[in-house]
Amino acid sequence: MAASASSRVPAVDLSASSKAPVFDQKPLWNQDTVRDVAESVGASKINDDSLRTLTQDTEYRMGQVIVESLRSMRNSERDNMSVQDTSGALRLLDVEPMFGYDTTRPLKYGEANLGSQALYYVEDEEVELEKMINAPLPKIPKDMFMTGHYLALDGVLTICPENLSPAELKSHDLLPKGSGANPALAALSGQDQPVFKPSVRHAVSQELILYFEKIQAALMDDSEDEEVERLRAAAIESVTTEPGIHQLLPYFSTFITNQVTHHCDDVFVLRQMMELTYGLISNEHLFTDQYAAPFTSATLTCLLYRKGVTQNDLQSASKQYQLREFAANVAGQITKKFAKDNQPLLPMLLRSCVKSMLNPHFPSSVWFGAISGIAQCANNGGIKMLLIQNLKDFEKGMLLPLLQKNTDISRMEFEALVGAIMKALQKLTGDHLPMGTMNGFSSDAEAARVKALVGDVIGDRIIQLGDHKLNLAVLDAQFYVGDW
pLDDT tens-digit readout, 64-119: 999 999 998 999 888 888 888 888 888 888 888 777 666 666 667 788 877 777 77
Taking the domains of the chain in order of start, what are their residue ranges?
A: 31-123, 248-475
pLDDT tens readout for residues 427-464 = 888 754 444 444 555 578 888 888 888 888 888 888 88
Q: Please report which confidence band the pLDDT of residue 367 belongs to, taking 50, 70 and 90 as the band edges.
A: very high
Confidence of residue 357 (pLDDT cuts 50, 70, 90): very high
CATH of domain 248-475: 1.25.40.770
Binned at pLDDT 50, 70 and 90, residue 136 comes out as confident
Contacts of 81 (CB under 8 A, 6+ apart): 69, 70, 73
* pLDDT band at residue 8 using 50, 70 and 90 as cut-offs: very low
| DSSP code at position 13 | -
Over residues 50-70, mean pLDDT: 89
d(CA 339, CA 345): 6
Q: Is 168 exposed, middle or buried (0-12, 13-18, 19+ CB in 10 A)?
A: exposed
Helix ranges restricted to H, 104-248: 129-134, 166-174, 183-188, 206-220, 226-241
Tell which residue, 454, 457, 334, has the closest CA to residue 383: 454
pLDDT at site 212: 92
Residue 97: per-residue pLDDT: 74
pLDDT number for residue 1: 40
Average model confidence (pLDDT) across the chain: 80
Q: What is the pLDDT of residue 64?
A: 92
pLDDT at 166 over 80: no
Q: Please name the residues in contact with 438: beta carbons below 8 A apart, sequence gap of 6 or more.
A: 466, 467, 468
290: DSSP letter: G
Q: Which CATH superfamily is domain 31-123 in?
A: Histone, subunit A (1.10.20.10)
Please report which confidence band the pLDDT of residue 2 belongs to, taking 50, 70 and 90 as the band edges.
Answer: very low
Mean pLDDT, to the nearest integer, of 234-240?
A: 93
For 31, other C-beta atoms within 10 Å of its C-beta total 16
362 CB-near residues (< 8 Å, 6+ apart): 306, 356
The pLDDT-based confidence of 125 (bands split at 50, 70, 90) is confident
State mean pLDDT over 42-68: 87
Mean pLDDT for 351-358 is 92
Phi, psi at 111, each rounded to 5°: -120, 130
Q: What is the pLDDT of residue 471?
A: 86
For the segment 146-161, the average pLDDT, to the nearest whole number, is 72
- Mapped onto helix, strand or coil, the DSSP state of residue 114 is strand
Kindly state the percentage of the chain with pLDDT values over 70: 79
Whether the per-residue pLDDT at 264 is higher than 80: the answer is: yes
pLDDT of residue 323: 92
Neighbour-count burial of 274, counting CB atoms closer than 10 A to its CB (0-12 exposed, 13-18 middle, 19+ buried):
buried
Question: How much of the chain exceeds pLDDT 90, in percent?
Answer: 26
- Tell me if 251 sits within 8 A of 271, measured CB to CB: no
Largest CA distance in the chain: 128
Minimum mean pLDDT range among 17-26, 95-104, 231-240, 331-340 = 17-26
Residues 6+ apart with CB under 8 A from 272: 219, 220, 232, 259
What's the whole-number mean pLDDT along residues 240-245? 90
Length of the chain: 484
| Contact residues for 463 (Cβ-Cβ < 8 A; gap 6+) | 442, 447, 450, 451, 471
Number of CB atoms found within 10 A of residue 376's CB:
24
Q: Is 264 helix (H, G, I), strand (E, B) or coil?
A: coil
Q: What is the pLDDT of residue 351?
A: 92
Q: Is the pLDDT of residue 40 over 70?
A: yes
Residue 15 pLDDT > 50? no
Domains 31-123 and 248-475 share a fold: no
Residue 124 is predicted with a pLDDT of 76
From CA 305, how far away is CA 313, in angstroms rounded?
19
Q: How confident is the model at residue 182 (pLDDT cuts 50, 70, 90)?
A: low
| pLDDT at 426 (0 to 100) | 83
Most confident of 101-105, 141-145, 249-253: 249-253
Task: List the one residue out of 296, 392, 393, 276 whose CA is nearest residue 338.
Answer: 296
Residue 157 pairs in a beta bridge with: 152
- C-alpha span between 13 and 15 (Å, rounded): 5
Q: Inform me whether the pLDDT recorded for 13 exceeds 60.
A: no
